[in-house]
Structure 1
Amino acid sequence: MQDGYCRPDGLELREVAPPPVRDGEVLVRVRAASVNSYDWHFMTGTPYMTRTIRLRNPIPGADLAGTVESVGAGVTAWRPGDDVFGATHRGSFADYVSVPADRLARKPSTVTFEQAAATPIAGLTALQGLRDKGRIKPGQQVLINGASGAVGTFAVQVARFHGATVTAVCSTANVATARKLGADRVIDYTTEDFVADGTRYDLIFDGAGTRSFAERRRALRPDGTLVFVGGPRTNRWLGPLAGQVVMRLRDRRMVLFLANTNREDLESLAGMLADGALAPEIERCYPLAAVPEALTHLSTGHARAKLVISL
């Protein structure tokens, strides 16, 4: 729990009563959760724009997977004993969390709770960014910058699922992982430059934000699209959005967005998980008491793929 905005070492593990279950909500016994930049932003209140949103729940955490304990009035899709996964606004770093019923999907029996918990926000960002904002099509040349990150590891697989030819950009240590996830070509950014090699892409999905506006534009085909999902946190007010907004104003091919948690897309991810088209990449699992450690590792910018909390 947190009392006001804080750094990870300001979080405390406390005994509290399970949350109330309101109409349209489901009480879930959490079996696993995962950390996201979303959690960092709302824990620390940075960038400052996040402080315009009132924190009604002192417990952080959005992604979750677990078992339905009880349901509120009006909920017909779920019943006690169902294994589910999804995302809520806050509260998943706990034994129990109340979640709006339409922000959950059934967990496939073929994946673990940890794998399911790793999927919601990162998987939705990859799916909606490529499918809805990038309008990905079979046969397109797609570049994933930041392919070893939490979202990037999903983006490589989602792009392959949609029939694209995928080029993944990552560091030397993550080249083998990118290949395992299905990338047709892997660029080690420590030895190669995806801008300088002359290849032009139909779609660039950028979770790293490491290149300038002009450089990214040179790597696009004239009718190509650049989808932003992350970047440096140097601007105290807008964080990664600052540079993205400027680029969007300068070129309409640049698209930025925030993922929308909804049952339909969660069910699409569930289908991909069940079929083996999507395999969450997990760097490490932490116990609940080590949430501060997991968030500290996330903040370094060197976390590979997903960090999961096992309960």
Structure 2
Amino acid sequence: MKAVVQDRFGPPEQVLRVTDVDRPEPGPGEVLVRMRATSVNTPDWIAVAGVPYVLRLSARAKGAVRGTDVAGTVAALGEGVTAFGVGDAVFGTKWGSGFTTAGTFAEYTVTAADRLLPKPEALSFTDAAASVMSGLTAHAAMTDSFTAAPGTRVLVNGASGGVGTFAVQIAKHAGAHVTAVCGPGNLDLVRGLGADAAVDYTAADFTAGTDRYDAILDNVLNHPPRRAMRALAPGGVYLPNSIGNTGGLTAGLLKMAAATLMGATGRATVRSVDGNFTPERLKAVADLVETGALTPVIDRVYPLEEAPAAVARMYAHHARGNLVITMGE
């Protein structure tokens, strides 16, 4: 089968190549999926580029196939799997399933059966793939880490990215007043998603203003956490969700650690965003997409052969919404 294989750490278009590899076989409790679409997420470019450098100590580069979001049809079933049949359209994730087999930047992948759901008929494979990691993370942020509701004020920093575009819509659907922070070219985009206010980060600093928020979902960490927390209302919640866009030994890990420390010492309410897969959470995201309450924002769709360019675009932090890789009919 065709797959995108990584040779070493570095710029995606220099270290990723499309080649033939052996097709994985499902083990007990696993499903072989004929991939139709997957998406590129922050963990993918981190693993490909090897930043922050400290993560290279625990990551494998040579021979790795990246990607975690699954959307496709069942090709074979492992022993004991009864929830699906060959040919069923499914979507879900490999995230947390052990990565004992190739990732999803490939024509086939294997994942645990309990990490898949039947794909709703109204959902295209492209939208399904775009809704997994980004949708799960945004849903967790706006319903579990913080409960967006009428009367609450939410600020989403990095509102035009994959997680951000979902978070703006989920918070607005819940009735919150939403402020979206993004670049000047994406102001109309976030307004179109329902944001009540759109802030151009190149022209205004939300940490220096007078507005206060019940929750700040920080997908960028372009400010020191202490400074970002100035914009919280009394009792507000800070949700750090980034390692930052810089390279180096630690990148944004120190900012994440600083935010965690401030939460642990009681100087602020800081909560992590646990966007891990649960069937209930992914179904909730899919239901919102099916009903039209949530629209996956897709920046570009790439064929598998151009997957290195897709990861490079994510690595350059230019994507508006999600980047999807497709594997043909």
Contact 1:106–1:267 (CA<8 Å) still a contact in 2?
Answer: no
Instruction: State the shift of 1:67 in Å.
Output: 0.9
Mapped pair 1:177 → 2:189: yes
Q: Distance in 1 between matches of 2:133 and 2:259?
A: 24
Within a 5 Å distance, the mapping from 1:228-267 to structure 2 comes to: 228-234=240-246, 236-250=248-262, 251-267=267-283
SS of aligned partner of 1:192: coil
RMSD of aligned alpha carbons: 2.0
Q: Distance in 2 between matches of 1:191 and 1:182?
A: 21
Distance 1:131 1:50, change over 3 A: farther
Q: Distance in 2 between matches of 1:57 and 1:160?
A: 42
% same residue? 41
Tell me the residue number matched to 2:99: none
| Letter aligned with residue 262 of structure 1 | T
Q: Distance in 1 between matches of 2:66 and 2:315?
A: 15
Within a 5 Å distance, the mapping from 1:48-197 to structure 2 comes to: 48-49=54-55, 51-53=57-59, 58-89=64-95, 91-197=103-209
Contact 2:70–2:91 (CA<8 Å) still a contact in 1?
Answer: yes
Residue by residue over 1:27-78, the C-alpha shift from the partner in whole angstroms, topping out at 9 and shown as x without a partner, is: 1111111111111122233322353255797211111211111221222222
Residue by residue over 1:215-269, the C-alpha shift from the partner in whole angstroms, topping out at 9 and shown as x without a partner, is: 3121101100010111424464443332111122123412234521222211111
Mapped pair 1:282 → 2:298: yes
Q: Distance in 2 between matches of 1:164 and 1:57?
A: 45
| TM-score, length basis structure 1 | 0.93
Instruction: State the shift of 1:170 in Å.
Output: 1.2
Contact 1:235–1:242 (CA<8 Å) still a contact in 2?
Answer: no
Distance 1:234 1:177, change over 3 A: closer
| Letter aligned with residue 57 of structure 2 | R
SS of aligned partner of 2:259: helix
Tell me the residue number matched to 1:292: 308
Distance 1:159 1:57, change over 3 A: farther
Q: Distance in 2 between matches of 1:258 and 1:51?
A: 24
Contact 1:143–1:167 (CA<8 Å) still a contact in 2?
Answer: yes
Q: Distance in 2 between matches of 1:52 and 1:195?
A: 35
Residue by residue over 1:190-237, the C-alpha shift from the partner in whole angstroms, topping out at 9 and shown as x without a partner, is: 333323331111111111212222331211011000101114244644
- Runs (5+) with no aligned partner, structure 1: none
Residue by residue over 1:72-107, the C-alpha shift from the partner in whole angstroms, topping out at 9 and shown as x without a partner, is: 122222221221111214510111100111222222
Instruction: State the shift of 1:21 in Å.
Output: 0.2
